[in-house]
Amino acid sequence: MAAAALWRSGAKLRRNMPIYLASWKAPPSVFKSSRSEAMANPSNEGVVCAPLDTLTEEEIMMKEMVKKFAQDRIAPLVKTMDANAEMDASVLQGLFEQGLMSIELGPEYGGTGSSFFSTILVVEELAKVDPAVALLCELQNTITNKLFITYGTEEQKRTYLPRLAKDLTGSFCLSEVGSGSDAFSLKTRADKKEDCYVINGSKMWISFAEQAGVFFVMANANPSLGYKGITCFIVDHGTEGLHVGKKEDKLGIRSTSTCPVTFENVKVPKTNILGQLGEGYKYAIGVLNVGRIGIAAQMLGLAQGCFDHTIPYVKERVQFGKNIFEFQGMQHQIAQVATQLEAARLLTYNAARLVEAGRPFRKEASMAKYYAAEVAALTTSKCIEWMGGVGFTKDYPIEKYYRDCKIGSIYEGTSNIQLSTIAKCIGQEY
C-alpha cells in the first residue's frame, strides 16, 4: 500500500512538471549568446564572416602607431611615474598630439573620427606598457567624450569637445563614501535657486580629479523622487566652492590621481545641466556599460603585456640542464594562461563589435570585464611564479602588473556586480 501511494504521488509530480523538464524536448528559450543572427544576403553585399580578431587596415594602422608610441614615449617613464605616483606631463601631451584622447570625435571637433573598436585596441596596446596611461585614455574616450557626444547640447559640444581633443581632460564624479556599488544612494544635492542650481556634497575615488578641467557631477536635484532625481551637471575646474582633495596613495595604477572632491555651495547655471533633469542615473548606467568594455581591454592588455615580458625569460632561464619552458609542468601552465588570454580577448572584441553594430551588449560587456579582470589576476600571479625571485623585485615590471590588475575587479562595477548583471540578463532571456 505504501509503495503504491508513493508511486501515485511520483506520477502526480511528473504530470505537474513543466513539459521541457519532463522530457528531452528542447526548452522554450535558448541562452541568447548561443543564438546567432544571420547576415542578410552576405554574398550580394560583399560581407565576409571574418574571425573576431580580424582588423581593418585603419585599425591595424592605429594599433601599430599606438604600439610604437607606447614603446618610445611611455615605456622609459613607467617605472619613475609609478614610484613618484605622478603622470609625466609629456605623456599626457603625447596622448593629445597622437589624437588618442579624441578617438571617436569627429574632425569638426578636432577629433580622429575613428571607431569605438579602435578605442578598445588603443586601450589594449597602451595597457601592455602601462595600464595607468591606458586608464587615462579609456576614461576620456568612453566616458567624458561619450557623455558630451550622446547627451550634450550643440552649445555644450562646441564649448568642450574641441578642447577635449586638444588639452582638456574630464572627470566623472559618481561614487561617494556611502554609495559605491549602490551608486544611486548618493547624497550630493543640487538645490534650485532662481536661474541656477547650488551643489553641496562630496565624492570619493574620483579618477584624474587632479588633472581634470571639467567635472561631470551626479547630484540629486529632487530627493523626493529617489534616484530619479539624479541629474548630471557640468562643472568647470576653478568654479568657486569646488575643492579637489589630496590624492590617494594606492596599491596600483599609481600615476593616476584618485582624489576626493567636495562641493560647497557650488553654483551651476541651468545651461550646464547635461541632458535632461532627473535623467542622470540613465546616463551613468549607459556610459558605465560601455566603459566596462574599455576596462576589459585595459585588463586584457595588462595581462598580455605581463605574459609577453615573462615568456622570453622562461625560455632563457636554465635549470637542471635545460630551459624551464621545456618542462611539461611549465608548458601546461603557460598553455592554460594563453588560452584564457585568448578567451578574454574574444569576449572583449565581441562586446566592442556589438556596440558598433548597434546591438544589445550589456551582458557581453559585463562578461568581458569580469573575465578579463579574472584572467589578469591569474596571469600576473603566474608570471611572478614562473620568473621566481626576480619576478618579485622591481627590477622587472612583472610586480607592477600584479599590483595594477587588482583594480580591475573593483572599479566601473565590481566583479560581483558584473555577475549579478549577467545573471539578471540570463533570467530575462529564459
Question: Which residues form the catalytic set?
Answer: 412
Q: How far apart are CA 305 and CA 58, in angstroms?
A: 23
> Residues near 269 by Cβ (< 8 Å), separated by ≥ 6?
195, 196
Which grid cell is 191? 538645490
> Residues near 42 by Cβ (< 8 Å), separated by ≥ 6?
48, 49
Relative to beta strand 242-244, strand 258-269 is antiparallel
> Residues near 369 by Cβ (< 8 Å), separated by ≥ 6?
292, 293, 295, 296, 299, 408, 412, 413, 418
CB 120 within 8 A of CB 348: yes
Q: Which residue has the cell 601631451?
A: 93
